[in-house]
A and B are shown apart, each in its own frame.
Chain A
Amino acid sequence: MNRELAIDATGLTKKFGDFAAVSELSLKVPEGQIYGFLGPNGCGKSTAIRILTGLLTPTKGSAKVLGIEVPKQAELLRRQIGYMTQKFSLYEDLSVSENLSFMAQIFNLPRDLARSRITELMDTYRLNELANQLAGTMSGGQKQRLALACACINKPKVLFLDEPTSAVDPQSRRDFWEQLFDLSEQGTSILVTTHYMDEAERCHGLAIMNKGWICADGSPLGLMDKMQANVIEIAGNDLRALKDRLTAFDEVSSAAQLGNRLRVLIDKAQADPIGFLQATLGANEPLQMEQVRPNLEDVFVDCTGKPLPSSPVQEAGK
């Protein structure tokens, strides 16, 4: 396992006044991987991306992207990265083809190369029939395809995507991820932030962020295996009341209703979670209990629901 690291960051901290947007963030992304930041709004995902693209200076810590130190040598990096901002940041009063050729000019693509590159991108991202449409009049999914096309104009080695799918319908999201895997296949490393579980599950590697800390990282499967809780599904009646009773126990870190089932996370310290539940609830109600495989949402709930650990960076996957 001697792959090159596309992104290598250690101990990144960014403070705005007294508020720490990112704390002690360490990150290793191998080349060609899709790495995800999963977390609620305001957890520091965007700040982390902005530090890595050289837009923000970290208060503490250091980061290298493609072996180039940021933000000190960020100018050297500019030609090799692509960045898709959270908000659509192309010119709404320029057309699709005008936006693309503007970006090509800014990246100093020679005219012939620019023309063939734009044709290629318009084919790949299905922008041909929109070529002369003003970007401001397009739908969320169309804008997103244009933004990705523009971010790829210089064939970047690393792509930074800040919540790329937040304004997009499910079908467009599926298409978008197909395109990301195509890029990854071609060797592009991708750092993507999201608050969708299904998207996080598609990443090669994943960091779950909460209040500026990475509270768990690793591959999605590894994270599920490593989870500090067992998952029990309870089927029965009167689940609302049952939920309130259960969450009062320290051993129960969370209980969430899914239709006529209740999904309960019980600390792994309890060796026999079903036995524990039957004992605490008593047998006066006919409840069906079943231990199920944890999913990513369980992992997320389990680690963001807990108080911050004193040493928050867990070395996962070791």
Chain B
Amino acid sequence: MNINPMESLSRIWAIVTKEIRQLKRDRLTFGMVVMIPLIQLLLFGYAINTDVRNVPVAVVDQSGSAAGRWIVEAIKVTQVVEVKTHYALVEQAQDAITRGEIRAALVLPPDLTSRLANNQTIGQWLVDGSDTMVAGAIRQLRSMPLDQITGQSSNQPPTFEVALFYNPEQRSAVNIVPGLIAVILTMTMILFTSAAIVREREKGNLELLITTPIKPLELMLGKILPYILVGLVQMAIILGLGYLIFDVPVNGDIGQLLMGTLLFIAASLSLGLLISTLARTQLQAMQMTIFVLLPTILLSGFMFPFEAMPKPAQWIAELLPGTHFMRIIRGIVLRGGDMADMAPDALWLLGFTALGIVLASMRFSKRLD
């Protein structure tokens, strides 16, 4: 069959302009393009805060010594805890924990000074362990190096040293904002493409279109091109606002950023196309999108550290394009890396895209049966 590339391009262009017109008239969807990244950014940026700050605690200083006061001051400076009260007796502190007034109490024994001199354990934290995040934060305080607290034994080497790279303030927004690009693009790219094609079928437009000279691939390309633009706009919104509101720096090169994002958009769109050939209604397309979106949020390393997940969960996560993009985008935005550093992830996305398009075109035929 003779395929004239100019005719082919003009048919693709017809679909693209039609799609943009429809998108402009569909105020709700058009609004979602902007509102989804905006709302989610604020929601995740402000609400999801895995840093533990200002845990209410009490101090039971039985030593009454100067060293005791220094230790308490040093602990206050960490901002992990906020010293609410002082108690004379350990039992009072325990009661306060039971009542929920405080989450933990620091007990400093009467022989504090001699313990310090002998490098012994200097005190005890009584902790309400019901909130693991809080408990974890206090446990970190437990191993706080003593020489730094007292400032006395400066001739001794520190027991250990902590060095924080890339996010020295340990703000979770820095990690969340680039990850959010992966989550939002997963959601909008898959949903928009799958729904856009299923809608044509549901409304009966497809029955007319397939009796015209348009080819399946032309129809698919024409339908996804406008959404590539939408995806880039969303990325720009997230990174721009992330910088303005949460002070998240973009360390990497813009070209690398575009390349990585386009690769992920392509992978998501091809998945959307595949879904559109499976789903019969827009509702089904939506459900299948959520089926992919939920594991992307939970397993991709967006919410929980990838390495901390059990192996089977990691295997599932490796199947999701979002997981690979999460590594790429964090690498570029936070560590200033480039695509070459993350070649395996990039190649995986490329392969996923190719497979998706092949499967989708195989499933989409210009027949109704």
Q: Which A residues have a C-beta under 8 Å from some C-beta of B? A: 50, 53-57, 71, 74-76, 78-79, 81, 83, 85, 87-94, 98, 102-103, 105-108, 134
Contacts and interface: CB of A to CB of B under 8 A. Distances in A.
Contact of B22 (A76, A89, A94, A103): A94
Contacts of A78: 211-213
A54 B211 contact: yes
Contacts of A74: 366
A54 B212 CA distance: 11
A93 B26 contact: yes
B203 interface: yes
B207 interface: yes
Interface residues of B, number: 28
Given A55-B368, A92-B203, A102-B14, A83 B22 contact: no
A50 B366 CA distance: 12
Given A106-B11, A108-B7, A108-B10, 14 more contacts: A50-B368, A54-B367, A55-B369, A57-B369, A75-B1, A76-B1, A78-B211, A89-B206, A89-B207, A93-B26, A94-B18, A94-B22, A102-B14, A108-B213
Interface of B: 1, 7, 10-11, 13-14, 17-18, 21-22, 25-26, 203-214, 366-369
Contact of A79 (B21, B206, B213): B213
Main secondary structure on A side of the interface with B: loop
A50 B368 CA distance: 9
A54 B367 CA distance: 7
B15 to A, nearest CB: 8
Given A89-B203, A93-B25, A106 B213 contact: yes
B213 A75 contact: yes
A107 B210 CA distance: 12
Contacts of A98: 18, 21
A90 B208 CA distance: 8
A91 B367 CA distance: 20
B208 A56 contact: no
B207 A108 contact: no
A89 B205 contact: yes
Given A55-B367, A105-B10, A105-B13, A83 B211 contact: yes
A249 to B, nearest CB: 45
Contacts of A102: 14, 17-18
A298 to B, nearest CB: 35
A55 B210 CA distance: 8
B273 to A, nearest CB: 20
Nearest to A102: B18
B204 A103 contact: no
B207 A91 contact: no
Contacts of A53: 211
B31 to A, nearest CB: 16
B139 to A, nearest CB: 59
B21 A106 contact: no
B212 A90 contact: no
A77 to B, nearest CB: 9
B205 A55 contact: no
16 contacts: A50-B368, A55-B207, A55-B366, A55-B367, A55-B369, A56-B369, A75-B1, A89-B206, A93-B21, A93-B22, A98-B18, A98-B21, A102-B14, A103-B212, A107-B213, A108-B10
Nearest to B209: A106
A313 to B, nearest CB: 24
Contacts of A81: 211
B204 A85 contact: yes
Contacts of B369: 55-57
Nearest to B213: A78
A111 to B, nearest CB: 10
Contacts of A83: 208, 211
A86 to B, nearest CB: 8
Contacts of B210: 55
Contacts of A89: 203-208
Contact of B211 (A55, A76, A91, A108): A55
Nearest to A104: B14
